[in-house]
Amino acid sequence: MLIGAGELAHVALSLLRDVEGANPVGCAVDPMYVDGASLGDLPVVSLDEIELRFPSAAHEVLVCVGYRHVNRERERLIRNCEGRGYRLWSLIHPHAWVSPEAIVGAGCIVFPRVVIEPYSTVGKGVVLWSGSVVAHDCRVGEFGFLAPNATLGGRVALGARCFVGANATVRDSVTVGDDCVIGAGAVIKRDAFSGSVYPAFETALGTRGSGSYDNL
């Protein structure tokens, strides 16, 4: 059972074709989005009616909502489903590499070409997009989001609900607090306080943008 009918849900539905044993049976969205919502040929129901159509005793859910409101929307829906008694299912694509010594929490979405190295822990409800790397001994907090090719060096501690943009890098042994936003291409070299925002690294005509991250 998929929760959400936006871009991430459509991509996840496509990825599920490659996952042995995956059998999506329906889609649920917030009541305000039911009219006009669609997800392939799946029946779409209001989240308020999900238990009538797809009882929690017989179904698991995969919450497919991106980084809206800095990942809080995905957290809200996951907690809503847990409160209704649903078990969280994780989509781990067969073309991802997850070390046997790594731990991936419930309700995660792990795209193709993701690498999760030994002794790392990925919390509940995390989205790891294609090509992102979680190096050894990392801790990725609940409900985080790593965009394509984002990289966490070894022993990074990433707080809850953090967003790491495409091609951004967090250097090894750095601690990033909860609710941080790291823009595309940024390089984080020092610990970051909770709620910090690091803009995307911009370039124009091959010259360096105004943002410099040497002092982070």
**Residue 95's domain is classified under what CATH number?**
2.160.10.10
Domain count along the chain: 2
> Cα torsion at 53, 58, 62, 68 (round to 10°)?
40
d(CA 38, CA 116): 32
The per-residue pLDDT for 207 is 33
Same domain (yes/no): 116, 58: no
CA angle 108, 121, 177 (to 5 degrees): 90
CB atoms < 10 A from the CB of 83, how many? 8
CATH code, domain with 53: 3.40.50.20
Q: Which residues make Cβ contacts (< 8 Å) with residue 29, sequence separation at least 6?
A: 3, 4, 5, 37, 44, 45, 46, 47
34: in domain: yes
Q: What is the pTM of this model?
A: 0.92
DSSP 8-state class, residue 96: S
Residue 70 lies in a domain: yes
The verdict on residue 204 lying in a domain is: no
Residue at 61 is within a domain: yes
Residues 70 and 98 both lie in one domain? no
Residue with tokens 């209704």: 84
Q: Which residues of the chain have pLDDT under 70?
A: 202-216
Of the residues 89, 117, 141, the one at which a domain ends: 89
Classify residue 160: in a domain, yes or no. yes
How far is Cα 8 from Cα 14, in angstroms, rounded to an integer? 10
Distances (CA, A) of 142 to 27, 74, 122, 164: 23, 10, 7, 13
Last residue of a domain, one of 67, 89, 111: 89
Helices (H) and strands (E) in the chain, counts: 3, 25
Dump pLDDT digits (tens) for 62-112.
Answer: 999 999 999 999 999 999 999 999 999 999 999 999 999 999 999 999 999
The residue segments making up the domain with residue 95 are 91-197
DSSP 8-state assignment for residue 49? G
CA dist., res. 75 & res. 31, Å (int): 18
